[in-house]
Structure 1
Amino acid sequence: MQSEEMTMHMTAVVTAAEEGGFNAFNPETGTGSQGDTLEDAIANLREAVELYLEEFPMKVGAPPVVTSFEIPVHA
């Protein structure tokens, strides 16, 4: 019988950095990282969150609900 590895669904908020590249933030842990590409930023964030969770374990919960909304722009 094979044991299944448990996974946690985490949130990544990624924004373009003014100086180029991307900033990535995980709100569940408060962990942030960056990368030259979107893929690099997420990979670096994944590593940072894994290191964080080694020190500060969290219980596996329901996947987060992620949404967005719009507001009017005032010129």
Structure 2
Amino acid sequence: MRKVHYTLYREESDYVAQCLDFDVSSFGATKEEALLMLKEAVELYLEDDGTSEPAPRISEITVGEMAIA
């Protein structure tokens, strides 16, 4: 079993789930649906990847907000 890190946030009427280990994201009407869709998307990504390299190790995550004039 492989573990991946993700963020989950609401964007208008959907929830967006974004994998932090790979360039994969998905969305759904509920949190659960978004995470289920992300799981499937990551599984497909890893099938197509063809490498057996381990996922990168996340050492620091910064979540922020900035104002744009």
Runs (4+) of structure 1 exceeding 2 A deviation are 57-71
Q: Which runs of 5+ in 1 are unaligned?
A: 1-6
- TM-score, with length taken from structure 1: 0.68
If asked which structure has higher relative contact order (CA below 8 Å, sep 6+), I would say: 1
Whose radius of gyration is greater, 1 or 2?
1
**Whole-Å separation in 2 of the counterparts to 1:33 and 1:61:** 19
Corresponding residue number in structure 2 for 1:4:
none
| Percent identity between the two aligned chains | 25
Change in CA separation of 1:69 and 1:50 when aligned onto 2, cut-off 3 Å: closer
Structure 2 counterpart SS, 1:10: coil
> Which consecutive residues of structure 2, in runs of 5 or more, have no partner in the other structure?
none
Aligned residues: 66
Q: 2:15–2:27: 8 Å Cα contact kept in structure 1?
A: yes
Q: 1:26 aligns with which of 19, 22, 28?
A: 19
More strand by share: 2
One-letter amino acid of the structure 2 residue matched with residue 13 of structure 1? T
